[in-house]
Amino acid sequence: MNNISSENLIQMFRYIAEAIETEKDRLCELDGIIGDGDHGIAMSVGMSAVTVALDAVDSKITVPTEIFNLAAKSFLNAVGASSGPLYATGFIRAGACIRGKTVLERDEMVAIIDNIAQGIRERGKGELGEKTMLDAWLPAAAACKDAASNDEDLSGCLRAAVKAAVAGAEETKGMLASKGRASRLGERAIGQVDPGAVSAVVILKAIARFDVAERDGRGIRDEPLGHVFN
């Protein structure tokens, strides 16, 4: 879709929150294998807080940068776990990259995905191959930018991002963890997917669904959310 407004962004966050809520138990199950078992709850609480905050704003006088800044503040205030500061930094970076824009096109949305990924990388001081959410976010951002450089429309860019994120998350099964509780498991973590990478896939899938639904004129309830990594 083109000409993405602040109201559209608020709707996008609703898609994300509903997708995370749908996958909450599965994310907790995955996290219970190599972590504390609460990743799904943390992400659900955080995204729910974001939607509550955004539902209270007047989208007609709130610019996209302010939407992302409020999302960052709300998520951070609601989530004390590591994902709180990581996503808050990503959202702040996303808001900064579109400062001065009142509507967003393909290139701004591609930049948003890249800046979320880079914000997470910056705050977490992480890299590819460490069995974290970056193993989904960084390939997704790279694929999204590559698709844009090949003149794909926004839908094509988002499809490329999702495909790369899914592949990246799957690859975490073969990785040793170097961060968080999973790092204490050593080789016992091999064979298990990283829950943070899976929740990144859920978010990116929700953004792609939002694009399709808004372009085709269908509401949020019309798009089946489904499950990933079952």
- Please report, for the chain, the start and end positions of each structural domain, with discontinuous segments joined by +: 6-222
Low-confidence stretches of the chain (pLDDT beneath 70): 1, 176-189, 215-230
Q: What is residue 225's predicted lDDT score, i.e. its pLDDT?
A: 40
Tell me the C-alpha distance between 72 and 201, whole Å. 19
Q: What is the pTM of this model?
A: 0.91
∠ CA 122-125-131, rounded to 5°: 115
Tell me the C-alpha distance between 33 and 112, whole Å. 32
In this structure, the dihedral spanned by the alpha carbons of residues 200, 201, 206 and 212, taken in order and rounded to 10 degrees, is 140
pLDDT digit string, tens, across residues 170-187: 999 988 666 565 555 555
User: Which of the 8 DSSP states describes residue 98?
Assistant: T
Tell me the C-alpha distance between 218 and 79, whole Å. 31
User: Which of the 8 DSSP states describes residue 104?
Assistant: B
Report the 10 Å Cβ neighbour count for 125: 8
> Which residue from 149, 141, 148, 134 is spatially nearest to 199, judged by alpha carbons?
134
User: Which of the 8 DSSP states describes residue 167?
Assistant: H
CATH architecture label of 6-222: Alpha Horseshoe (1.25)
Q: Are 111 and 97 in contact (CB under 8 A)?
A: yes
Provide the token pair at 23. Answer: 């996958």
Q: What is residue 221's predicted lDDT score, i.e. its pLDDT?
A: 43
Q: What is residue 69's predicted lDDT score, i.e. its pLDDT?
A: 99
Q: What is residue 226's predicted lDDT score, i.e. its pLDDT?
A: 46
150 CA to centre of own chain: 23
